[in-house]
Homo-oligomer: A and B are copies of this chain.
Amino acid sequence: MKGTRLDIETANALPSDSAHRAASEQATLLLPRWIATAVPGQPLLSDHGLLMQGGLIRELAPQKRLRAAHPEALIVELADHLLIPGLINLHCHAAMALFRGVGDELPLKAWLESRIWPLERALVSEAFVYDGSLLAAIEMLQAGITTVNDMYFFPEQGIEAMRDAGMRVSAGLVVIDFPSAYAADAEDYLRKGLAIRDRWREDPAVSFCLAPHAPYTVSDAALEQLAMLSAELGLPVHMHVHETALEIEESVQRYQLRPLQRIARLGLLGPDLIAVHAVHLIAAEIEMLAASGANIAHCPHSNLKLASGFAPIAALLRSGVNVGLGTDGAASNNRLDLLAEAATAARLAKAVSGDASAFSASQVLHALTLGAATALGLQDRIGSIEPGKEADLIAVDLLEARSLPCFDPLSHLIYVSGRDQVSDVWVAAQPVVRMRQPVSQAFLAHAERLRGRLPLWQNRVNETLSQLSSESLV
């Protein structure tokens, strides 16, 4: 159980965030045992190092050569580790971490109508979204997730929390046809969302999606407007699609169209679409998705737990559809752990398709990284280890005693490793976690303050739940 070794100079450079920033201007040389770049077709690298500086990956080369060429660099030895791109969570409702596990063992419709929506009406506010998102960021960063594609009310507070924690965020400009504390109607949601985008456009770690909640909660008129805006502004569209059989039946009754047909007619089916869940698909729909270049955010834990069903991932991949992975919110998961999601996705696709070779470890790594980055339009900046890209990186300790022996590092990453083996996390070359401990002062300070506020939120959730159950007795 050898740990990572942090040279004295590096350790001394870590005590404050300004030191971190200075460190990111200085060159840092990572020396892992293996590197999986996630560049398609590129084999696993051994004896290679990675030089990062100014937030970017600068060089990827044999360790000897890098050591000789950069004697000034800080050295980070990762003797037992696989270095991979930071994981990208392609679908989350981060703030729902404050509802972790609420309404367990209910199907989606009852879960939403009897628990989640009443709780949201009672509790969701700017403060709720900030604290819930911060809680989620703390969990996700320590699990190696460096970017989250989020969808929730008050997206600006979500962005603030993610940035305070040191995480990259693709913020969903949510649109839904019912009023909330955040906005009154579809137009109001959209106007507020676009204003947030204007305010945050200077932060390179923040990007945006249009985020109509689902075909069954957004009108034709609003969806058409979003399709036009997506084309005009070059924004991806992040939307729940075909999660349950019921929503498809209801759409057929109401519109004489299946939801995917309907959103295709409204102009939303294309390479900008991130169709979340995509559980119930007929063969023609898989072909439609493939032909249009649409992307899927696959969330197996949520789909299983809510009894929604099994997404046909092997068939989607065979047709060439780009697949990423998401945790969904902690209320239906109940854990924001993308490595666990990946292990389930890898195993489940095999049984669903009847093909033990389906969704191989290397395909799963792609889904966790470059596939998700592509869905977000960020493939030129993150998602793979290539010089010039942002240094969003994680090291996973593959050789801890209880998971030996390791015959194939990529297989070991997907089928053996847990989030507790994620030892080091960098976002844009800033260290957030080192040797399994959070080291960013901002992260630590925000986490500490949040700890004081959590019991208050927990009490308010419990009070609201007991009110709900006493009302249902009337």
Q: Point out residues on A near B: beta carbons under 8 Å.
A: 98, 100-102, 104-108, 110-111, 135, 138-139, 142-143, 301, 303-310, 333-335, 337, 340, 343-344, 346-348, 350-351, 353-358, 360-361, 401-408, 411-412, 415-416, 418-420, 447, 451, 454, 457-458, 461-462
Q: In the complex, what's the smallest C-beta–C-beta distance from A339 to chain B, in angstroms? A: 10
Question: Chain B contacts of A462 at CB under 8 A?
Answer: 407
Instruction: Contact check, A301 vs B347: say whether CB atoms are below 8 A apart.
Output: yes
Knowing A307-B353, A451-B401, the reply to whether A104 touches B139 (Cβ < 8 A) is no
Instruction: Contact check, A309 vs B351: say whether CB atoms are below 8 A apart.
Output: yes
Q: In the complex, what's the smallest C-beta–C-beta distance from A403 to chain B, in angstroms? A: 7
Cβ 8 A contact of A355, one of B135, B307, B360: B307
- Give the residue name and chain of the B residue nearest to A98 (CB): B405
Instruction: Contact check, A415 vs B458: say whether CB atoms are below 8 A apart.
Output: no
Instruction: Contact check, A350 vs B307: say whether CB atoms are below 8 A apart.
Output: yes
Instruction: Contact check, B101 vs A411: say whether CB atoms are below 8 A apart.
Output: yes
15 further A-B contacts with Cβ under 8 Å, apart from A304-B347, A304-B350, A307-B355, are A101-B406, A101-B408, A101-B411, A101-B412, A104-B415, A108-B356, A138-B401, A301-B347, A305-B350, A305-B415, A310-B351, A340-B343, A405-B458, A405-B461, A418-B419
- Give the residue name and chain of the B residue nearest to A459 (CB): B405
Cβ 8 A contact of A356, one of B306, B420, B458: B306
Cβ 8 A contact of A361, one of B104, B361, B461: B104
- Give the residue name and chain of the B residue nearest to A142 (CB): B402
- Give the residue name and chain of the B residue nearest to A309 (CB): B351
Instruction: Contact check, A457 vs B310: say whether CB atoms are below 8 A apart.
Output: no
- Give the residue name and chain of the B residue nearest to A106 (CB): B356
Question: Chain B contacts of A415 at CB under 8 A?
Answer: 101, 104, 305, 333-335
Complex Cα gap A356–B138 (Å): 29
Question: Chain B contacts of A309 at CB under 8 A?
Answer: 351, 354
Complex Cα gap A347–B411 (Å): 23
Q: In the complex, what's the smallest C-beta–C-beta distance from A113 to chain B, in angstroms? A: 13
Q: In the complex, what's the smallest C-beta–C-beta distance from A189 to chain B, in angstroms? A: 28
Cβ 8 A contact of A360, one of B105, B110, B333, B405: B105
Question: Chain B contacts of A333 at CB under 8 A?
Answer: 415
Knowing A347-B305, A418-B420, the reply to whether A135 touches B447 (Cβ < 8 A) is no
- Give the residue name and chain of the B residue nearest to A420 (CB): B420
Which 7 interchain pairs have the tightest Cβ spacing? A304-B347, A420-B420, A307-B356, A107-B356, A334-B415, A307-B350, A304-B351
- Give the residue name and chain of the B residue nearest to A448 (CB): B401
Question: Chain B contacts of A100 at CB under 8 A?
Answer: 403-407, 416
Q: In the complex, what's the smallest C-beta–C-beta distance from A281 to chain B, in angstroms? A: 15
Complex Cα gap A306–B357 (Å): 9
- Give the residue name and chain of the B residue nearest to A310 (CB): B351
Cβ 8 A contact of A138, one of B353, B402, B420, B461: B402
Q: In the complex, what's the smallest C-beta–C-beta distance from A445 to chain B, in angstroms? A: 14
- Give the residue name and chain of the B residue nearest to A101 (CB): B411
Complex Cα gap A406–B106 (Å): 18
Knowing A138-B401, A305-B415, A351-B308, the reply to whether A105 touches B334 (Cβ < 8 A) is no
Question: Chain B contacts of A403 at CB under 8 A?
Answer: 100, 139, 335
Knowing A351-B308, A356-B305, A415-B333, the reply to whether A458 touches B104 (Cβ < 8 A) is no
Complex Cα gap A396–B305 (Å): 22
Instruction: Contact check, B104 vs A408: say whether CB atoms are below 8 A apart.
Output: yes
Question: Chain B contacts of A405 at CB under 8 A?
Answer: 98, 100, 454, 457-458, 461
Cβ 8 A contact of A404, one of B108, B348, B454: B454
Instruction: Contact check, B401 vs A105: say whether CB atoms are below 8 A apart.
Output: no
Complex Cα gap A234–B308 (Å): 44
